[in-house]
Amino acid sequence: MTKPYVVMTDSACDMPTALEKSSGVHILNFGITVDGQAFTEREDFTFDEYYEILRNCQGIPTTAHITQPRFVQAFEAHAAAGVKQLLYVSINAGGSATHSAALMAKQQFLQENPACGMEIFIVDSHTYSMAYGWFVAAAAEKLAAGTPMEEVVAWLQDTFARVEIILGAYSLRFMKKSGRISAAAAFAGELLGLRPIISLNDGQSVVQQKVRGDKDVLPALLQHAATHRTAPAPYLVGGTDDDKMRALCALCTEAFGAPPSATFQLGAAVATNTGPDAIAIVYLGEERAR
């Protein structure tokens, strides 16, 4: 029996495969070009394989946004399957043309199929990685439990006005290449052994502090999250290294009195800019004005 609704997102959500399957979320994958070679995220490499690609590539990988025709094709397929309500949650609109492509595809699809009867809801996550992937899966769970689509959309918008990421990068090389920090600052930072602690809210990256040496990265992340987190809201731990994630989970569990709701690997959208050696906490803070 066809579900009356479907939930879609894109591969920058970094949703673990097991969660993708259990939630039934339809993920559209980004194309990525590395040193002239084309790949499709989540199809041509695992997270760990992508970290190795980053360590060995000469230039900064580029991501091609999901195009209007791809969205129209997806909308047509779901409408043909009998879907009555479609929810798509996008990567931060300020960092990708994907969101605007989805909006244009919605307009085109409805113009070309005025009698199809399928409603399309498009939500800008204003963020990256599992800072929206986790909540997209939760939205699918709410819909499965019978929550009306309009309530789920309102819940997502409220959540994305509160979700925050605090991230630590163990190398400045990729941040220098991507322009996140200046070349001069990167050079000085490498010489001094500095590690940036970066907040990523509403798509804006801000260096909150720089700590000296690897050992101070996890405590600094924990301190920032503890100061800004709204307890007892859920939190997540993500990264590119299992040992570092386990250590951060242990620190957070002791400090917050509960383990993270989930752990995840950072995908291409984040790792391309931070490098293959990074770790983060996702949590809910105070509501921000749009």
Neighbours of 78 (CB within 10 A): 22
Give the strand order in the sheet containing 163-169.
204-212, 194-201, 163-169, 278-284, 235-239, 262-265
Whether pLDDT at 192 is above 90? no
C-alpha–C-alpha distance, residues 65 and 85, integer Å? 24
The least confident of 76-85, 108-117, 193-202, 216-225 is 193-202
- Write down the pTM of the prediction: 0.94
Give the range among 26-35, 113-122, 192-201, 281-290 with minimum mean pLDDT: 192-201
Q: What is the largest CA-CA distance in the chain?
A: 64
Count of CB atoms situated within 10 Å of the CB of 52: 12
The pLDDT tens digits of the residues spanning 197-234 come to: 989 999 888 889 999 999 999 999 999 999 999 988 89
**pLDDT of the residue at 148:** 97
Q: Read off the pLDDT band of 184 (50, 70, 90).
A: low
Which H or E run includes 188? helix 183-192
Quote the pLDDT of residue 188: 67
